[in-house]
Structure 1
Amino acid sequence: MAIPTIIDPYCLTLTLLITIAYQLLFFSIAFALKFDKLTDFAGGTNFALLSILTLSLSASHQPPSARQLVASLFLIAWALRLSGFLLFRVLKTGKDDRFDDKREHFFRFLGFWIFQMIWVWTCSLPVVILNSPTVQQFADQGAFGSGLDIAGVVIFSVGFVMESVSDVQRYLFRAKGDKSAVCDKGFFYVSRHPNYFGEIIVQLAIYLIAISPAANGYVTGSARSALYGTVVSPIMITMLLMFLSGLPLSERPGAKKRYEAGTNWEAYQRYLQRTSILIPFPPQLYERVPTILKRTIFLEFPMYVFDPAKHSDASKAHRTAEEGRTVGNRESGDGLVGEGRGQ
């Protein structure tokens, strides 16, 4: 028997409205109190809320499958772990520097929360669609344990451990307060951003589990297309971390800050040359990889690379001063020549 439709057959409208309301609630508190500590907590717990809600709605009509439980619990575990860690970190630091130019401005601050709504809703789609009435009307979706299911569990485990452990490693490293040191231990030995890599493959893993019944022919028609369409989740988190809030805010700006402050730049430059920007890879081999492969296959695009001659304010100031001295010398020389001619 088909499961009754709840607002819409894929729970898209329901989950979108809940996400908007949930984020606006926390936005109103954060803006009114100029309070940064709830921002990431609101994002992470929103994932858990949507997972629990859609799983509960599905269970009200028939017992959830093992696949539904695994995918939903994976998303809940990832979201609560991430939001808990970020809440702990901001409580320790006292504020979130990302909002220094936003928290006093209503629309700027709201813009961040609107983007968070889009992020949460989009990256929840694999679980939301898997738990939806239209997909669950297919009673036989195959036993949990297909190739995609197993791949998803393995990839999730690797990503979850990598993201969780590297977050702690980075936090403990920064807590030491040694700004000249280079964080090149643990997972940071094989990747400059193992936490980002872990987060990306976590979303990929949940997607693989969600599409398993479609890939194996148990779910067909529009439901099959809807499941495959949730690929926007891993794509979005990848684009977000690679081109918006992740690598662009840490790679070149971080290198520039170190170079201009003179905080052990030589060691850090060596670390950049030997360590993959995202994909874990042995540094002994990575430093021998041709630049063209680093800029393509290993995703270290030119937009991330710091060139002191081009990007350092100190270098620019030095060049300007040198040019000024050169021009000054030329002008002085021309004056002397002119004076000689006059005489």
Structure 2
Amino acid sequence: MVAVGVIGSGAWGTTLALLLARKGIATTLWDHQAARAQEMQSQRENKMFLPGITFPETLCVTAEIGEAVREKEMLILVTPSQRMRENLRLVAPHLGSETLLVSASKGVEIESLKRMSEVIAEELPESAGRIAVLSGPNLSPEVAREKPTAAVIASQSTEVAIACRDLLTTRHLRIYTSDDVVGVELGGALKNIIAIGAGMTEGLEYGDNAKGAFITRGVAEIARLGIAAGANPMTFVGLAGIGDLIATCASPLSRNQRLGRRLAAGEKLDDILASTHSVAEGIYITRAALKLAERFHVEMPLTTKLSQILFQGLDPHKAVLELMMRDPKNEREGIM
């Protein structure tokens, strides 16, 4: 029998565990808090992130890392990006020599500026040839309720990408393969910055034209940085680029979009963070993106202004005015 482990029991980790378990795959979901793991195992539900969705019998929840990792064909890593490294160190002693590793975390480590696949390869060097990354327009509540969507899985190994695709594909989730690990990871991470800004345009009631323009210029900004980092430009018009960007910017289910709306309403970042139990990755990737932009000499005006709003108290109305008054540019500058 195929067995899979999922490291991280947030909304997306739980959703992926549900999808696999519904296929009849023996799936073990890991939570670092014993009390929470026990609660989910006994109540057969993740009431914090996916209330009302019952776990199938093939899904087990545990706080024992070895139980989640040992003798698994595939291990899906769905932890917050800034905690990926510490969780990999817990995984390492139990990891099998043939286990496929899938990163479903969308972020960049702030301190090292490494993508999640790079962090995994660094911490688990013997597994470097078995790493894949998953991204796409995948809002957890919709996927968990089996609404149709698609995703892309990228790996440097075609065989690894196909094996992971076949395990993860369901009647409701269609998965494509790619060899552009850099583009798939950066598209999935950087879109969270643009989602915060899109939420702000809604909160400021600037209208659909402004939101459409903001999202489109966000694609250009993501592509500039991605191309400079070695990504295939076409990835950013695919599922990990425009696909994920549209879903995250348009949906009130998006944590980053909600954050932007609350900022536009005048709430302080610290107060917003204190009132939620979910992680808005856009906060972290904003810092990392500007450091990467400096490294690759890439201009990122939207990200710069958002950083000033998040961390320096810049008024959103003033930020928009400053963006509108920038010197004229060719639309494709930096991505031609």
Q: Report the TM-score range of the alignment, normalised by the length of the smaller protein.
A: under 0.3
Higher strand share: 2
**Which one has more relative contact order, counting CA pairs under 8 Å at least 6 apart?**
1
Query: With structure 1 as the length reference, what TM-score do the two structures score?
Result: 0.27
**Bigger radius of gyration among the two:** 1
